[in-house]
Structure 1
Amino acid sequence: MTMSIHAERARYIPVEQGFNIERPVLAPQAFVAEMRRTFADETPTGFVALDLSLILGTVYAATTPFMLARYARVRTGERLACALAASGEIWAVLRGTGTLARDGETLRWRAGDMLALPGGIASTWQADEDAVLWLVTDEPALAFQGVRPEAAERAPVQATHYRAEDIARELRVLYDRPMAPDTPGRALFMASERTERLCTCLPAMTLTLNAVRPGEAQRPHRHNAAALVLALREARCASTIGGATYRWTEHVTLLTPAGAAHDHRNAPVTEGSAVTDDDIALALIVQDGGLYYYGRTMGFSFADAGQR
């Protein structure tokens, strides 16, 4: 019998080989050089990707197997155009003001704002004053599967704007919220009209604001989701991730690999001193957690459970 080209493509793999797949280990790290390059005076308008594709062994840019993070610089009066092959995009404005034009709509943004946007739509970011933004997408997840974003009318989210003034109001409540011993952290989940029931920002990705008051420590824990931690306010905070300690530095991104035990702890203020907002550490955290929530495989556990 003549074998067709379709039959020639078939491969048969022994079960022991299929259940013992080895992947390169993704280690915790801080993307200091990328942050400095983005904020440097001479840096032109464009993206600075936090790309670990050489470690991950992918032919496409990726920070984790499912997420890609970037910094974006938009110089005064200039425009940054993009159309990202993602199901959705999470943006945070670190500096500057400007406008976003996409899909026939225009939105004004400023430092402190955050946005959740459907992916695959041509966008133009124009800066009124020198701007730096941070964004995370699920481009690697789509690239791995060889799929493209849905049409705009079927996108999992609509353009959602988290305004700086609204965030500030919510943070005031977060800072004073009582903490129980088993509370995972002092955190605020950001969602949208379409994802509120999922408790995620995008269906596959979570966006949280995490605060650590002086003298407070987020209990060591681990989860199946990888996390990208962007320090917004350092205070005296540090994270221990997989046994390595990283001091928080404003606008530096930390990578917490999937399953790595980690904590966040903020040193106390001088005895007798009043606590101000500057003493409260604040970070923006994006995880691919929505995938695990939906798959019923969150894998959350406290890493010090046997020590308490």
Structure 2
Amino acid sequence: MNREFDPALTDINQVDAEYFEYSKAANPISANLISRIPYHSFPASLYDSGPSRVVPLDLSDALGCEGPATGPGLCANFMRLNRGDTLTLQPNATSQVFYVIAGEGSVVQGEYEIQWSKGCFIALPGLQQAHFSAREDARLYYVHDEPLLRYLGVTPRADRFAPTLYPAALANAKLREAADDPRAQDRSRISILLGNRHFPQTRTVTHVLWAMYGILPAGSVQKPHRHQSIALDFIIDCPTGCYSLVGTELGADGQIRNPQRVDWSPGLAFVTPPGYWHAHFNESDSEAFLIPIQDAGLQTYLRALDIRFS
């Protein structure tokens, strides 16, 4: 179609256009144009009593984004579901991962029904409502990717996987198998990654999320490591004397310079920002158990995870 030149239309189409000299725009974090992901801890007291509810672990003010959001692309939550109650969830998300901290009940999503109990992991897609009900007082840790979809301005068009249960007994057996391997002490960590057969390239629990179930043995140290995915860490159980050190740089000795210390406690959730070095310590005589949930499914698919060890 031929159109005559219209200066007024040209002006309208250029209203939003901007131009920046490269050095002033290429690194918006260093230029303080966008905030870093903050360190933050969320105690178990947020969900240990009271009515049935979802408690978003919201850092959106610090992130300068629409909330709730715990990171730019993920939102972690605590769920409390009292006996006989029901909660209906339908975030604008492609991926939802749950860990059952305590209690038992069921979840119905479309034609699927899953029975869950303490120690189970559940992965749900986001297209349909999920109806959770409890047979006894329950608490869950819950992460979804609604902030990512909100930023992109999109809604899910199709589910990429079916509702999937990882039973506690089987997950615990697989973790113990990894711990009992004679070569376990030579590895960077003792853990298992939850996978789904639909994602053979990333070997992650969903196409966006990664979920790790790990042991920190008594008297052990997980040496400094880093990755470009945000880690939303949940401490299942731990004795006194467990903690993480987090920082931006390593010294010549391979240890983290000027680290931030995060002392662990059962039921604690905390944020490890992407790209930061972090190390985990257990100075007690008992094992500790943790779950990092990350956007590493997406980062791995983008070939951008860049996990490194000191």
TM bin (shorter chain):
0.7 to 0.9
Question: Separation in 1 of the partners of 2:111 and 2:12?
Answer: 45
Residue 37 of structure 1: CA displacement?
Answer: 2.3
* Residue in 2 that maps onto 1:70: 77
- Pair 1:142-2:149 in alignment: yes
Does the 8 Å contact 2:296/2:305 carry over to 1?
yes
Where does structure 1 lack aligned partners over 5 or more consecutive residues? 270-278
Residue 149 of structure 1: CA displacement?
Answer: 1.4
Matched residue of 2:184: which SS? coil
Normalising by the residue count of structure 2, what TM-score does the alignment of the two structures yield?
0.87
Of 5, 13, 23, the residue aligned with 2:19 is: 13
- Pair 1:252-2:243 in alignment: no
Moved more, 206-215 or 196-205: 196-205
Matched residue of 1:3: which SS? helix
Matched residue of 1:47: which SS? strand
Where does structure 2 lack aligned partners over 5 or more consecutive residues? 1-5, 248-258
The one-letter amino acid paired with 1:244 is Q
- Pair 1:86-2:93 in alignment: yes
In structure 2, relative to structure 1, the CA distance for the partners of 1:194 and 1:6 (3 Å cut) is farther
* Residue in 2 that maps onto 1:274: none
- Pair 1:262-2:269 in alignment: no
Residue correspondence of structure 1 range 128-277 to structure 2 within 5 A:
128-151=135-158, 155-177=159-181, 178-179=183-184, 181=186, 183-235=187-239, 236-242=241-247, 243-269=259-285
Question: Separation in 1 of the partners of 2:189 and 2:135?
Answer: 37
- Pair 1:37-2:42 in alignment: no
The one-letter amino acid paired with 2:17 is R
The one-letter amino acid paired with 2:175 is L
**What CA RMSD, in Å, does the superposition of the two structures yield over aligned residues?**
1.7
Residue 198 of structure 1: CA displacement?
Answer: 1.6
- Pair 1:51-2:58 in alignment: yes
Matched residue of 1:169: which SS? helix
- Any idea what the Cα deviations from partners look like across 1:168-205, whole Å, max 9, x if unmatched? 21121122232365x33212100112124421111122
Residue 251 of structure 1: CA displacement?
Answer: 1.1
Residue 9 of structure 1: CA displacement?
Answer: 4.2
- Pair 1:27-2:38 in alignment: yes
Question: Separation in 2 of the partners of 1:301 and 1:287?
Answer: 15
User: Percent identity, aligned pairs only?
Assistant: 26
* Residue in 2 that maps onto 1:273: none
The one-letter amino acid paired with 1:189 is L
Question: Separation in 2 of the partners of 1:6 and 1:293?
Answer: 40
Residue 15 of structure 1: CA displacement?
Answer: 3.7
Moved more, 48-57 or 165-174: 165-174
- Any idea what the Cα deviations from partners look like across 1:94-145, whole Å, max 9, x if unmatched? 1111111110222211111111111131111011111111110111111100
